[in-house]
Amino acid sequence: MHKQSVAIAWRKFKNKYRLVGTKCSNCSSLYYPPVKICSKCRRNSKLEDYVFKEEGTVFSKTVVRSAAEGFERGTPYVLAILELEAGVRVCGQVVDCDIDEVKIGAPVYCVFRKMYTGGKEGIIQYGLKFKLRK
Ligand SMILES: [Zn+2]
């Protein structure tokens, strides 16, 4: 079995638990999730990691009442498109609130939460979700 290098494991870890995207230093465009090429500069792309501020606003939302297998717990819940800095949008769950409290334009911030329990080993996966700033 192939063993993953510590550097690759760490890169995946930090991207999973922070809002790490990409910035093109040629044109200042921001991307999330990270990209390998800037869609504006193409072969002139000069990409670097960019850590987004862990806050944004609700751009749109939907209420999930019938969740996919493994995500049934906690229904109904709000799945939203969140707008980060520079208009970059990301999809995420808004937690710890009543579903009717989530309004378009409401300020949110990132929180580190359990995503799901995977496989027969019951390994718990964590990731980023969002919470209303009250
Ligand atoms: Zn660019």
Q: 57-67 pLDDT, tens per residue?
A: 999 999 999 98
User: CB-based burial of residue 71 (10 Å sphere; 0-12 exposed, 13-18 middle, 19+ buried)?
Assistant: middle
β-bridge partners, 49: 22
Specify whether 58 is located in the same domain as 24: no
Reading the block at residue 74, the tokens are 């906690």
In the reported structure, the alpha carbon of residue 80 is separated from the centroid of ligand 1 by a whole-number distance in angstroms of 27
How many domains would you assign to the chain? Answer: 2
Q: So what's the pLDDT on residue 9?
A: 60
Question: Could you say which of 18, 37, 52 is where a domain stops?
Answer: 52
Q: What is the pLDDT of residue 30?
A: 95
Query: 30 CA to middle of ligand 1, Å?
Result: 9
**DSSP 8-state class, residue 41:** T
CATH code for the domain in which residue 63 is found: 2.40.50
User: pTM (2 decimals)?
Assistant: 0.79
Single-letter code of the amino acid located at 133: R
Q: 88, 31 in Cβ contact below 8 A?
A: yes
Residues 47 and 79 in one domain: no
Query: Residue 36 Cα, ligand 1 centroid: separation in angstroms?
Result: 11
Same domain, 108 and 58: yes
Domain residue limits at 8: 1-52
Question: Distance, CA 51 to ligand 1 centroid (Å)?
Answer: 17
Low-confidence ranges of the chain (pLDDT < 70): 1-16
Residue 29: per-residue pLDDT: 96
Are residues 87 and 31 located together in one domain of the fold? no
Which pLDDT score, from 0 to 100, does residue 1 have?
A: 46
